[in-house]
Amino acid sequence: MPPRLIFFCELDTPQLRELFQTNEVLDALQKLGAGVALAIRDFSDERAQVVCRMNEAGIPVTAWLLLPEEQGYWFNLDNAPLAVQRYADFKAWSEKKGLKWQRIGLDIEPDFRLITALKEGVFPFFKVLFLTLKRRKKLFSTARKMYEQLIEQIHADGYEVEAYQLPPVLEERRTRSSVLQRWLGILDLAVDREILMLYSSFSRPWGDAMLLSYGKDAQYVAIGSTGGGVDLEGVADTRPLDWQEFSRDLLIAGLLKPEVAVFSLEGCVHQGFLERLEKFDWQQSIQVERKKYVIVQQVRQLLAAKLWLLERPWLPAVIFLLLILLQVRRRRNLD
């Protein structure tokens, strides 16, 4: 049975209005039985109208909450109070416009300003990173508590909560570490649904192996990118997946999960993928090169080991001291 598809849509309001100007996209989504995770980039009447049209068409819509870019864009340790206020503003807007949502999505990623700094060079990046690291020592427990309370509030309002997470959060969790959370500002939150962002377009030529490796351990997965989203030019490979790459990832994800998220709807429309998906053969065989898969697995194990040690920096010193004491004792016995 084919997996259910959920398409992320991250367009500004003018482009969003243009995408849904006709019923063509709505009709395609209906035929696929697909849902949409819509980026809430503003609280405009035009965005509300698009949501209303999807509600009327019976298309499940997830509210993908985001902040203005100057506030960090994605949710993280540095902007917890702003995230709480953003949900309050979103709730008021939704009630005023009579919008219906299937669930609420929290995008947990590093501060957008880190991406901007990285585009300017290594020195500006580490400068911003150092300044944020100093703040996070005091923010960590408080910010986590605020996000936990936010999730409780969303539940009380009758919504499920899903989080979009970076893949290494699994290694962080497995080793009971908080290193990446403190360094990058991300948060390992307990939510109803967790979707790992396994975008193979950003990890060529290892993308399919990473999708298989992390996908087996993930609750849900998101594949991509087919185009659109934040401008990462100069930071990562921004070439969108072509049909061959996209169909490969669909088959891998479809074998692993009953539901697959796709980033992005606008990219799929631009490349004509929606029409091809209507006749897609989900029974095709798919193979991932074993050598690549083994290497990805080994890298994950190495990352887990490093995180474990970084979370316990005292341990190597204790082991080193014990070795010295054993050596001294051995020499005394020989004497």
- % the chain with pLDDT above 70: 89
First to last CA, the chain: 74
* 259-263/160-165 β-pairing: unpaired
Is residue 209 within 8 Å of 288, Cβ to Cβ?
yes
Three-class SS of residue 123? helix
State the average pLDDT for the chain: 91
The pLDDT score that the predictor gives to residue 13 is 96
Tell whether 199 and 324 lie within a shared domain: no
- Provide the number of structural domains found in the chain: 2
Q: State CA 86 to chain mean position distance.
A: 19
Last residue of a domain, one of 255, 274, 289: 289
| Cα–Cα distance, 262 to 221 (Å, whole number) | 9
Tell whether 177 and 140 lie within a shared domain: yes
Tell whether 302 and 285 lie within a shared domain: no
10 Å Cβ neighbour count for 255? Answer: 13
Mean pLDDT, residues 131-142: 77
Tell whether 210 and 244 lie within a shared domain: yes
> Which residues on neighbouring strands pair with residue 223, listed in sequence order?
262
The pLDDT score that the predictor gives to residue 317 is 59
Report the residue count for the chain: 335
Tell whether 87 and 175 lie within a shared domain: yes
Q: Which tens digits make up the pLDDT trace of 23-72? A: 999 999 999 999 999 999 999 999 999 999 999 999 999 999 999 988 98
Tell whether 152 and 221 lie within a shared domain: yes
What DSSP string describes 181-247?
Answer: HHHH-------SEEEEE--GGGSTTSHHHHHHHHHHH-SEEEEE-SS-SS--TTTS--PPP-HHHHH
Any idea what the CATH number is for the domain that residue 202 is in?
3.20.20.80
* Host domain of residue 211: 4-289
Mean pLDDT, residues 4-17: 97
Tell whether 214 and 146 lie within a shared domain: yes
Mean pLDDT, residues 173-188: 92
For the cut 60, the answer to whether the pLDDT of residue 234 exceeds it is: no
Tell whether 109 and 219 lie within a shared domain: yes
Is residue 200 within 8 Å of 210, Cβ to Cβ?
yes
The pLDDT score that the predictor gives to residue 301 is 97
Tell whether 312 and 190 lie within a shared domain: no
Is residue 134 within 8 Å of 126, Cβ to Cβ?
no
Tell whether 230 and 279 lie within a shared domain: yes
Tell whether 304 and 252 lie within a shared domain: no
What DSSP string describes 254-271?
Answer: HHH-SEEEEE-HHHHHHT
pLDDT band at 211 (very low <50, low <70, confident <90, very high): very high
For the cut 60, the answer to whether the pLDDT of residue 104 exceeds it is: yes
Three-class SS of residue 75? strand
Tell whether 254 and 315 lie within a shared domain: no
